[in-house]
Amino acid sequence: MSIGIGIVGCGMIANFHAKAIADAQGAHLVGVTARRPDAAQAFAQEYGCQAYATLDEMLADPAIDAVSVCTPSGHHLDPAVATANAGKHVIVEKPLEITPQRCNQIIQACEQNNVRLGVTFQSRFHQSSQLMKQAVEGDRFGKITLGDAYVKWYRTQEYYDSGAWRGTWDLDGGGALMNQAIHSVDLLLWLMGPVVQVSAMADTLTHERIEVEDIVVATLRFANGALGVIEATTTAFPGALKRIEISGSNGSAVLEEEDIKQWDFADETETDKQIREEMQGKTQTGGGAADPKAINHVGHMKMFEEMVAAINEGRPSMLDGHEGRRSVEVICAIYESAKTGKIVSLNQQ
Residue-wise pLDDT for 24-48, tens only, equals: 999 999 999 999 999 999 999 999 9
What's the pLDDT at 291? 73
Kindly tell me if the per-residue pLDDT of 173 is higher than 80.
yes
Which stretches within 55-181 are classed as H helix?
55-59, 77-85, 100-112, 127-137, 157-161
Within the chain, which residue ranges are assigned CATH 3.30.360.10?
125-290+328-345
Do strands 66-69 and 89-93 pair parallel, antiparallel, or not at all (unpaired)? parallel
Residue pair 318/136 in contact (Cβ under 8 Å)? The answer is no
Query: What is the Cα gyration radius of the chain?
Result: 20
User: Among the CATH numbers 2.30.40.10, 3.30.300.10, 3.40.50.720, 3.30.870.10, which is that of 3-123+297-318?
Assistant: 3.40.50.720
pLDDT digits (tens, 9 = 90+) for 271-305: 999 999 999 888 887 777 877 776 789 999 999 99
CATH 3.40.50.720 domain span(s) along the chain: 3-123+297-318
Please state the rounded mean pLDDT for residues 185-190: 98
Is the CATH number 3.40.630.30 carried by domain 125-290+328-345?
Answer: no
Per-residue pLDDT reduced to its tens digit, 69-89: 999 999 999 999 999 999 999
Local structure of 55: helix, strand or coil: helix
- Whether residue 165 is predicted with pLDDT greater than 90 in this model: the reply is no
**The amino acid at 72:** P
Mean pLDDT of 91-105: 98
Q: Which residues contact 327 (CB under 8 A, 6 or more apart)?
A: 95, 121, 182, 185, 186, 189
- Which residues, 6+ apart, have CB-to-CB distance to 273 below 8 Å? none
Q: Is the pLDDT of residue 129 over 80?
A: yes
**Rounded average pLDDT over 212-228:** 98
Is the CB of residue 96 less than 8 Å from the CB of residue 76? yes
Work out whether the CA dihedral 213, 216, 219, 221 comes out positive or negative: positive
Do 237 and 289 contact (CB within 8 A), yes or no?
no
CA 176 to chain centre: 13
**What distance in Å separates the CA atoms of residue 222 and residue 136, rounded to the nearest whole number?**
14
Cis ω before 37 (30° cut-off from 0): no
* Average pLDDT of the segment spanning 118-147: 97
